[in-house]
Amino acid sequence: MSKVAFLGGGSFGTSLAILLGNKGNDVSIYDRDILVVNDINKNRKNDRYIKGLQIPKNVTAYNDVDEALEDVEYVVLALPSQIIRIGAEILRGKISSDIPVICIAKGIEEGTNKTLVEVINDVIDNPVVVLSGPSHAEEVAFNIPTTVVTSSKNMKIAEEVQDLFMTKEFRVYTNSDLVGVEVGGAVKNIIALAAGVCDGLGYGDNTKAALMTRGMAEIVRIGTKLGGNIETFLGLTGMGDLIVTCTSMHSRNRKAGILIGKGMSKDEAIKEVGMVVEGITACHAFYKLKEELDVEMPITDGLYRVLFEDRKAKDVVDELLKRDKKSEVY
């Protein structure tokens, strides 16, 4: 069994900590919120993020990062995408360079347009593994069957992490297309947010099916432009993640989109959801990136106008529907 430390005691980090704890690993969680730490240690719960948990006794939470990292063999960065750099900086000088760092966030860094693996490797030289796929924390925590992917520049270590997390309910595949895995997981949050907007406007299944399909076209365009393989976008971290995030009420991106479709501002929607909405920062980042790369992403364009230019969602949908006719495949 292994000693695994999590930086961040949010919903997905906690659900994976439970999974590893139930496998017999020694698991620590560092969180800056003492209320979360106390709830885990005293009550074996984390009610701030997921109600009804039963956290095993071999999962211990700390408010001190040095204590959490003591004798660690793997580190999981369970932080929002925009503070992954901060997480890597916390690790610098505290762990040896051979310890694998597992990133479970999905996004790119706003401002630099770097993938999260690139961000981490800017700061530390550790091997980095991405764990991604259609995996709502609320289901993983209660052993609902789930499949995900590990990817890395070092696939031997990706296979180690595959073994670390694999259970009969949590099936882990490997995929050597690191860029594709990261881009698919990031852009699907934009499409899920747009899907929620359509739900909030009162549109139906036909609309959502169209949005998801054309959204996949955007994922493929930007993903292949950045060097990803098209097969990856048809897999778990592309189509799989897109389906679950666009259709589930566990999805904070969809929830926020519904609220925006009903007339809330993005800030009001974020406050109501109560957690980070990755699709908002992803939309801003990928809008800038697709402009640089000259990639056509009309759904991303439209959502950007709603989020950052105060356009009415209904007007933007009308504009998308009035675009010039074209072939579906091009």
Q: State how far the Cα of 65 lies from the Cα of 238, in Å rounded to an integer.
A: 34
Burial of 72 (0-12, 13-18, 19+ CB in 10 A): buried
188 a known binding residue? Answer: yes
Backbone phi, psi, residue 6, to 5°: -110, 130
Q: Which amino acid is at 95?
A: I
Q: State how far the Cα of 327 lies from the Cα of 164, in Å rounded to an integer.
A: 45
327 a known binding residue? Answer: no
Backbone phi, psi, residue 72, to 5°: -70, 145
Q: How far is CA 41 from the centre of its chain?
A: 26
| DSSP alpha helix (H) spans, the chain | 11-22, 34-38, 65-69, 84-91, 116-123, 137-140, 155-165, 178-200, 205-225, 230-233, 241-247, 252-261, 266-273, 278-293, 298-308, 313-321
Handedness of CA 308, 8, 89, 32 (dihedral sign): positive
Burial of 259 (0-12, 13-18, 19+ CB in 10 A): buried
Q: Which amino acid is at 264?
A: M
Catalytic residue numbers, as ranges: 188
pLDDT given for residue 244 in this prediction:
96
254 a known binding residue? Answer: no
252-271 confidence digits (pLDDT tens): 999 999 999 999 999 999 99
290 a known binding residue? Answer: no
184 a known binding residue? Answer: no
252 a known binding residue? Answer: yes
Q: State how far the Cα of 254 lies from the Cα of 34, in Å rounded to an integer.
A: 29
CATH number for the segment(s) 178-321 = 1.10.1040.10
Low-confidence ranges of the chain (pLDDT < 70): 330
- Over its C-alpha atoms, the chain yields an Rg (Å, rounded) of 19
Buried-exposed string 309-320: b where 16+ CB fall within 10 A, e elsewhere: eeeebeebbeeb
Pick from 64, 116, 66, 120: which is nearest to 95 by CA?
Answer: 66
Q: Using DSSP bridges, classify how beta strands 26-30 and 3-7 pair: parallel, antiparallel or unpaired.
A: parallel
Tell me the whole-structure pTM to 2 decimals. 0.94
282 a known binding residue? Answer: no
Q: Where are the domains of the chain?
A: 3-174, 178-321
Pick from 129, 116, 133, 238: which is nearest to 187 by CA?
Answer: 238
164-179 confidence digits (pLDDT tens): 999 999 999 999 999 9
Q: State how far the Cα of 263 lies from the Cα of 280, in Å rounded to an integer.
A: 16
Q: State how far the Cα of 57 lies from the Cα of 76, in Å rounded to an integer.
A: 19
287 a known binding residue? Answer: no
Q: Superfamily assignment of 3-174 in CATH?
A: NAD(P)-binding Rossmann-like Domain (3.40.50.720)
pLDDT given for residue 325 in this prediction:
85
pLDDT given for residue 330 in this prediction:
55
Q: State how far the Cα of 56 lies from the Cα of 285, in Å rounded to an integer.
A: 38
Q: State how far the Cα of 269 lies from the Cα of 217, in Å rounded to an integer.
A: 27
133 a known binding residue? Answer: yes
